[in-house]
Structure 1
Amino acid sequence: MSRIRIGSFNVRNLADGEGRDLDRIAKMINYYHLDIVALQEVLAEGKVIGGIDLKEPSGQAKAYDRSLKRRLSGPWDSQWAQPVLSRENEPFRGEDRRGEGYAILWRTDKFDLPLGRWGEPYRPEILSNYNPVIAESQLRLIRDPLYARFLLKDRHVAELRILVTHIVYGKSGALNDVIDYSAAKMRQKEFDILAGQLYRRVAEYYKVQDCTSPYTVLLGDYNLNLGAYPAVPAVACFDAKGRPIDESRAKAYIYTYQTDASTIKRDTPEYANNYDHFSFDERTRRIVRMDSIHSIDLVNKYTKSEDVTQEQRFDRYRKEISDHLPIMMEVDL
């Protein structure tokens, strides 16, 4: 049996690392012995995550020493990817114009990447091949998710499939002529597409399997609370086509977890919404250590000596880390 620890973290518009406490983020990853870390709101092609090669005046390459990966213990690989927004999706972005992407890091001593048809490694990529329906129009998710696949190192008896999402929070006024429901309802409909259509497609795809058991997890910043309006359902039910239906007639269930507050209030030293979650089906739930699912109180961990009050700790955290807390879970494979 192998115990795998998975983390998810909205790092709030992380670009070049200037003014950001990457050491503190790395300490958290190292301390909790995370094996896979999925990040949302990563900009600038993810250079701050994986590092790049810079040239010395002599022409020799030197490491990009501000990268997060160089601060982590053990061997790691990483991938950054950015959803491509189509022209018809432009009004759905609201005021968010940052063109953000996802990053995912994984320990290479724990995982191998599956191989494609021609023997090439299947690296994490944006999953964009789908045709959902929102309201009366054929409209895509505003931000397509990142899709990653990991095989247990050397043995290849189990595969983890990870869908990383960041559901867009706002709704532009231009949408009022297209849909007549609120931004919160739009977020809930996006979750239905992610859980009812994309999750099922990924979880039920066995053509690439060779005596390997696949387990799938949807995770990230849903911008929806679990257990309070605007809400994501604790148990979402879908028919064979991935459409939400009444639980009593359900053919497929997706369970959502992580109820700890995971966002930081703007002006007060308090936690707010539980927007960050993990979702998975009954099959994957059997391998999850349910008592391991929680947020990580990074506000009060690894604080600097001058942070003597809660106000100072929260203020520094918002400026140097994020307006979200990381979350984590464990699975036994």
Structure 2
Amino acid sequence: MGYKIGSFNLYKFSFQSDDDIRKNLEKISQIIRDAELDVVAIQEIFNKKALDRLVSELGANGWEGRWDSPNSRSVSAAEGYAFIWNNARLGLVKNRYGKIFEPRILNQYKVDKSFGQRYLIRNPYYARLTPSERLGGTFAEIRLINAHIMFSKNRTENESNNHDFSDLGAISMRRNEFDILSKTVYPKYSDKTYDLINGERDAYCMPTYTIMLGDYNLNLKSSAAQGSFLRPDEEIIELADEGKRIVTVQSDLTTLKSKKEGVSYSQADGYANNYDHFTYDEKRFEGIKLDVKRIEAVKNYYGDDFDLYRKEVSDHLPIVLDLEFR
């Protein structure tokens, strides 16, 4: 049985009223449906109203979603996250009394300051899903950690949240964020054996498969990007004591070049960075078929009109991980 897991930065997606909508929801929904995505982790979605409109456009009877934002005093650090999923294929984990594990922002994790780790500026969003009851229910659990690493240190939220990055460059700051996510947050929540749901433990003891995904604002060396790279020892992290080999994948370019007056881009030169990725424990996924790629949304839905795609959809392409249990 296979599942298609997507990640999509929707670039400042907000909604206040019908007069204020600035995205082409019909086109975004078509991209998601045509790719047959079962669940999508979304970054840069600024309010629940935007999520509700997207779910409605997808088809409220077949889709469900949740939205949340990290606690922050600043607007940019509080950029929200969402998960949307096809409820004919997946559903949220429940305890034995039928109470649901709701997705949540992960605020509890440790940092090792002796290794230079610092708390995340924008904490990730965590969801736990299982196959829908229509498909036989709970043979496995898919855990998703939706991450959006802060792009720049030159933001007022660093001060408002007592984050001191004065000794770090912007790339080093992003690497610090990735270090915490991959070595601290990911292992903790991939190994977590149960959660409390309204005071009760989970109902099920089943295999769990954890994937971190999102906009890391860092490139893989294997990509065609020009800088802002993860180091090789960050792309593959050996945690021998924990029996983990944590890999980060997806090397296609996924961000559009900045718009310039009088310049038109083509499929060959319109992309800039390889910022969108999946991260998982390779040892845990042994024997499971995985395939990752970007969705060619600019080419297939906008005829390589980069400016119109940026205006109506995003400055990112969505990516997909095809997960097949054998």
1:235 aligns with 2:236: yes
1:24 maps to 2:27: yes
Q: Secondary structure at the match of 1:225?
A: coil
Specify the SS of the correspondent of 1:72: helix
Counting only pairs closer than 5 Å after superposition, residues 36-185 of structure 1 correspond to structure 2 as: 36-44=39-47, 46-50=48-52, 67-72=53-58, 75-85=62-72, 97=76, 99-116=78-95, 119-133=98-112, 139-154=118-133, 155-172=137-154, 179-185=166-172
Q: Pick from 301, 305, 321: which aligns with 1:329?
A: 321
Give the structure-2-normalised TM-score: 0.81
**1:179, CA displacement in angstroms?**
4.4
Q: Are the equivalent residues in 1 in contact too, given 2:238–2:246 (CA < 8 A)?
A: yes
Kept in 1: contact 2:295–2:318 (CA 8 A): yes
Give the aligned residue type for 1:238: L
Query: Where do 5+ consecutive residues of structure 1 fail to align?
Result: 51-66, 91-95, 242-250
Q: Aligned letter for 1:257?
A: V
Deviation at 1:118, TM superposition (A): 6.3
Residue 18 of structure 1 and its aligned partner are, at CA, apart by 1.3
> What is the CA distance between 1:189 and its match in structure 2?
1.4
Distance 1:288 1:41, change over 3 A: farther
In structure 2, runs of 5+ residues without a counterpart are 195-201
Count of matched residue positions in the alignment of Structure 1 and Structure 2:
290
Question: 3-state DSSP class of the match of 1:263?
Answer: coil
Name the structure 2 match of 1:217. 211
Larger deviation, residues 271-280 vs 199-208 = 199-208
The amino acid of 1:237's aligned partner reads E
For residues 283 and 87 of structure 2, the distance between their equivalents in structure 1, rounded to whole angstroms, comes to 26
- The alignment-based identity, stated in percent, is 35
Contact 1:135/1:179 (<8 A) preserved: no
Aligned letter for 2:315? D
Higher alpha-carbon deviation: 194-203 or 276-285 = 276-285
Task: Give 1:240 deviation, angstroms.
Answer: 4.5
The separation in 2 between residues aligned to 1:35 and 1:189, in whole angstroms, is 31
Deviation of residue 230 (structure 1)? 2.0
Equivalent residue number for residue 5 of structure 1: 4
1:61 alignment counterpart? none
Q: What is the Cα deviation at residue 182 of structure 1?
A: 1.2
Contact 1:10–1:322 (Cα < 8 Å) also in 2: yes
The letter for the 2-side match of 1:24 is K
| Distance of 2:29 and 2:287 partners within structure 1 | 27
> Any conservation in 2 of the 1:224–1:275 contact (CA below 8 Å)?
yes
Using structure 1 for the length normalisation, give the TM-score.
0.79
Distance 1:25 1:287 in 2: 33
SS in 2 for 1:150: strand
- Give the match's secondary structure for 2:258: coil
Distance 1:68 1:178, change over 3 A: closer
Task: Kindly state the Cα deviation for residue 162 of structure 1 after the two structures are TM-superposed.
Answer: 0.2
Which residue of the partner structure matches residue 279 of structure 1?
Answer: 279
Aligned-pair Cα RMSD in Å = 2.6
Residue 252 (structure 1) shift: 2.5
